[in-house]
């Protein structure tokens, strides 16, 4: 993955979605800097370049069903919603989920469905997904996410230890799973059955 964002659709979505609405009022002045910001519950909204780069890797064309694990502020889901048919997003912290849902309504992003659950189990009901994006870092790629990925399908997920991870690009093709490692990243912990323990 290169740091340059060249997909015009991704750039347009980044320009369209009002990032300042997804951060606390106190942080709004810094919402457009290229850095992560706190969103409550010890969680962070990823820096814009990481959001754009992970989105670009998924090569969305507008017709996809996309699963996101780690709704957080809802910002990444909002970006995805401009670029695919439907976004399914799972968050384990209720207050964050509630805040994100409010924003989706306010901004009329009606093609996002959000659910409170352990996202390491995926979201079986609507599987398979053409693309999956995980925005928290875990020790391994959760098995249910590989199972719920369509064939062909692609997933981007940070895997590593608690402090630093490597972005993994997972492709399912003709029944095979191919994994490429991209760059080093720092995400908050993916907590759950197939993630860290609390
Ligand atoms: N995509 C978010 C990033 C939020 S940080 C945004 O754009 O703001 C990562 C989020 O993953 C946190 O909100 C955290 O609570 C959530 N998370 C961690 N483990 C999870 C799990 N097993 N299932 C669902 N969400 C999880």
Chain segment 133-170, per-residue pLDDT in tens:
999 999 999 999 999 999 999 999 999 999 999 999 99
CATH number for 8-185 (one of 3.30.365.10, 3.40.50.720, 1.10.760.10, 3.40.50.150): it is: 3.40.50.150
46 annotated active-site: yes
Domain boundaries, given as residue ranges, for the chain: 8-185
Element (H, E) at 39: strand 37-40
Chain segment 59-110, per-residue pLDDT in tens:
999 999 999 999 999 999 999 999 999 999 999 999 999 999 999 999 999 9
- Residue 33: C-alpha distances to residues 46, 53, 57, 76 (Å): 11, 16, 22, 16
Among protein residues, the one whose CA lies closest to atom 14 of ligand 1: 70
Contacts of 73 (CB under 8 A, 6+ apart): 22, 23, 39, 45, 96, 99, 100, 103
Mutation probe of ligand 1 site: the residue of 14, 19, 70 with most atoms within 8 A of C-beta: 70
99 close to ligand 1 (CB < 6 Angstrom): no
What pLDDT is recorded for position 1? 46
């Amino acid at each position: 993955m290169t740091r340059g964002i060249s997909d015009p659709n991704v750039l347009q979505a980044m320009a369209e979605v009002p990032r300042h609405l997804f951060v606390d009022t106190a942080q709004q002045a810094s919402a457009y800097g290229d850095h992560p910001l706190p969103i409550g519950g010890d969680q962070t909204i990823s820096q814009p370049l990481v959001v754009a780069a992970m989105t670009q890797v998924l090569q969305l064309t507008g017709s996809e069903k996309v699963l996101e694990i780690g709704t957080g502020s809802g910002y990444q889901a909002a970006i995805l919603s401009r670029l695919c048919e439907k976004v399914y997003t799972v968050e384990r912290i209720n207050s964050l989920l509630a805040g994100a849902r409010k924003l989706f309504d306010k901004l009329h992003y009606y093609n996002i469905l959000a659910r409170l659950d352990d996202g390491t189990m995926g979201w079986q009901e609507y599987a398979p997904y053409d693309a999956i994006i995980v925005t928290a870092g875990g020790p391994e790629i959760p098995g249910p996410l590989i199972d719920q990925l369509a064939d062909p399908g692609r997933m981007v997920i940070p895997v590593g230890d608690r402090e630093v991870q490597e972005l993994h690009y997972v492709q399912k093709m003709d029944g095979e799973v191919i994994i490429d490692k991209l760059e080093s990243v720092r995400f908050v912990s993916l907590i759950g059955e197939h993630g860290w323990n609390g």
